[in-house]
Amino acid sequence: MIAAFSFTALAAVFTALAAAPFFLGTYGTGFLLGLVGYVTLASAWALFSGPTRYVSLATVAFFGIGAYTVAVLYETLPSWLVLVVAALIGLVVALLVGLSTLRLAGVYFVIFTFGLAELIRQIVTWYEVNITGTLGRYLFVDYGPEVVYWKLLALCAVTLAIGYLVKRSRWGLALKMIGDDEVVAEHCGLPTARVKLALFAASSVIITLVGAIQAPRWTYIEPTIVFNPTISFLTLIMALLGGAGRLWGPVVGAVPLFLLFEWLSANFPDHYSIILGLLFIAIVFVLPNGVLGFLEEHWTRLRANRSAKSDLEKREAG
Amino acid sequence: MTLTTTLIAGLVLGGTYALVAMGLTLQYGIARIMNLAYGDMIITAAFAAFIVQALPSINPLTGLAIVVPGGFVFGYLVYVFLLSPLVKRAPNQAALEVDSILTTFGLLFVIQGVLLVLFGSNYTSYTFLNVPVSIFGTTVAANRLIALVLALAIGLLFYALLTRTRWGTALRAVAVSPQSAQLVGINTDRAAAIAFAMGTALAAAGGTVISMYQTFTATGGVVFTMKALIVVIMGGVGNLLGALTAGLVLGIVETAVSTYVDPGLTLAATYTIFLVVLLWRPEGLFGRRVR
């Protein structure tokens, strides 16, 4: 009953969001587009990093791969095929990273992903300067921002659905166990490396697609623009604020932080990285399980107190 | 460029990498903090050296006497206020690792933001001791040679301190087993704070040396962190002499790649080394295989 109700409510929300471009102007659509982009990025990040606690710092590496693939191929291939190619490149890079690090301790994975964006940025720059002889590409497509927005919204729905299905499946349990204690998981006979690799690949492909879909929004693309480390940083802080271990956590974190980021970059363009950095540290200190984890903890404690109190009152009355 | 020239240029570059990697190996090996803001601490020291050398009657070498203690104090404060609460809260090493990674990742953006506000995003540099010195028939700039000498001197000094003194033995005990170290009366929290501060002091020394012969920007920290991390893993976590050797190796490989292949591909070369180490000997070239 409750499940049916929340499904209907969800469908209504997504329908309303899909219809929004007809009522909002160009600015409003662009704003929603950015928001849905970050909600998708944070949810895709949490798909792998939430339950396993393997902190991936490579979000912008995959995002940039997606965006750059579109910039290179959009004139020669139909747009759906470009997305497929981008997803495949993202998949290959994810498998390469995963195969070389996910069999080892988590810290190797973190280190590898930390420099990955810078590595790919330098390789792309080198390739463009030495082989094609130009740096920076123009990107003109024949559709407006609302088409980009609808594609992103669809990807966002798919991401949340994958998150929901994974959580309810054996894979979700396996991931949770890996996050709690990897040694125990291995002793139970879980193929931990394979589970981690599969989920990391899925998460990376989604992030690559976000970059690929959003690319036409820039019209001019350069390695420093699409490999901007702020994107990795924002994705991470959004997922952490809401609670990376929960399906709706990244959504809850992404909405207020996107609003804050828009406001900060408009009003304090020079200082926003300091403010966001401090906020990030504060979240790690105060809300280690995110807002949803915090609420859940206090809610159960409050209810436990209340029921204990009413029990006491009943006993006193009786 | 002849082979000897490449080798010497590589050794000199590797000296700087070794110097900064030794600091990171102290922080991760003893204090058990994975510090992703390490490169930004190096850049901060480079800017500090840039300011200090502009003062009358101070050159970058005497400036080390200001910047390095400054780095020690900064590292100590960061540990006590930012990291020590996380160490106390963490139920196990894995949880502390995640927390320290996240906190220092946030710190990275704070430091970078402050540097951007103070100095802007332009490349900064100054000239110091840019005179040619001739060794083994090739010429090297004196400022680069200083980096190598400093790296070797500091590396051997710290090695002697850690292996020959009672105090160093206590630090190594903490590195091996923080729980057992407490049982024999070692204050692990204090040891970790000092190791972290010493690591930051080495980062400050490295930053000063880098500022003598390289241009640097506020956003350049990530690459230094990355290279230092790769050297630390190559040398084996907590192994000072390993870091020293691995740093020199990385310097030679990078110089060879930028001389014979292309200067734009040095980070790709660094990553290739990292990949090989990960696939072949993840415990480090000089580490013992743990089963």
Taking alpha carbons only, the member of A222, A211, A173, A174 closest to residue A44 is A211
Confirm whether A124 is domain-assigned: yes
A34 touches chain B (CB under 8 A): no
CATH number at A96 reads: 1.10.3470
CA gap A76, A81 in Å, rounded: 10
Residue B260 tokens read as 């014979």
CATH number at B196 reads: 1.10.3470
Residues on chain A touching B268 (C-beta within 8 angstroms): 119, 122-123, 126
Question: Do B109 and A280 make contact, defined as CB atoms within 8 angstroms?
Answer: yes
Q: How many helices (H) and strands (E) does chain A have?
A: 14, 2
CA gap A32, A15 in Å, rounded: 14
Whether the predicted interface score ipTM is above 0.90? no
Confirm whether B17 is domain-assigned: yes
Residues on chain A touching B265 (C-beta within 8 angstroms): 122-123, 126
Highest mean pLDDT among A203-207, A224-228, B7-11, B238-242: A203-207
Question: Do B110 and A115 make contact, defined as CB atoms within 8 angstroms?
Answer: no
Of A106, A112, A122, the CB nearest to B97: A106
Confirm whether A299 is domain-assigned: no
User: How many Cβ atoms sit within 10 Å of the Cβ of residue B241?
Assistant: 17
Whether the predicted pLDDT of B282 surpasses 90: no
- For residue A91, the distance in angstroms to the closest alpha carbon of chain B comes to 18
pLDDT digits (tens, 9 = 90+) for B147-164: 788 878 887 888 888 889
Of B110, B268, B278, the CB nearest to A274: B110
Sign of CA dihedral B96, B102, B104, B107: negative
Residue holding tokens 């966002």? A156
A114 touches chain B (CB under 8 A): yes
Residue holding tokens 């901007």? A228
CA gap A273, B121 in Å, rounded: 14
Distances from the Cα of A66 to the Cαs of A59, A102, A148, A226, B238, in angstroms? 11, 23, 14, 9, 38
pLDDT digits (tens, 9 = 90+) for A167-188: 888 888 888 888 888 888 888 8
The terminus-to-terminus CA distance of chain B in angstroms comes to 45
Q: In terms of DSSP H, where are the helices of A53-181?
A: 59-73, 79-101, 106-127, 145-168, 170-180
Confirm whether A256 is domain-assigned: yes
Give residue B216's domain range: 3-280
Whether the predicted pLDDT of B173 surpasses 90: no
Paired residues of B138 in beta bridges: B135
Confirm whether A109 is domain-assigned: yes
Q: Which amino acid would we find at residue B201?
A: A
Residue B291, pLDDT score: 35
Residue A61, pLDDT score: 94
pLDDT digits (tens, 9 = 90+) for A93-152: 999 988 888 877 778 888 888 888 888 988 888 888 888 877 778 888 778 888 889 999
CB pairs under 8 A between A and B: 115
DSSP 8-state class, residue B132:
E
- For residue B240, the distance in angstroms to the closest alpha carbon of chain A comes to 19
Question: Do A281 and B117 make contact, defined as CB atoms within 8 angstroms?
Answer: no
pLDDT digits (tens, 9 = 90+) for B101-135: 889 999 999 999 999 999 888 888 777 776 777 77
Confirm whether A303 is domain-assigned: no
Confirm whether B285 is domain-assigned: no
- For residue B287, the distance in angstroms to the closest alpha carbon of chain A comes to 15
Number of folded domains that form chain B: 1
Paired residues of A293 in beta bridges: none
Highest mean pLDDT among A183-197, B33-47, B144-158, B271-285: B33-47
Give residue A31's domain range: 2-287
A268 touches chain B (CB under 8 A): no
* Residue B261 three-state SS: coil
Confirm whether A35 is domain-assigned: yes
A127 touches chain B (CB under 8 A): no
Whether the predicted pLDDT of B290 surpasses 60: no
Residue B1, pLDDT score: 60
Strands (DSSP E) found in B12-156:
132-135, 138-141
Confirm whether A301 is domain-assigned: no
* Residue A137 three-state SS: strand
- For residue A202, the distance in angstroms to the closest alpha carbon of chain B comes to 22
Residue holding tokens 């203690």? B69
CA gap A146, A20 in Å, rounded: 9
CA gap B259, A264 in Å, rounded: 44
Confirm whether B288 is domain-assigned: no
pLDDT band at A244 (very low <50, low <70, confident <90, very high): confident
Confirm whether A304 is domain-assigned: no
DSSP 8-state class, residue B124:
B
- For residue A297, the distance in angstroms to the closest alpha carbon of chain B comes to 17
CA gap A182, B196 in Å, rounded: 28
Number of folded domains that form chain A: 1
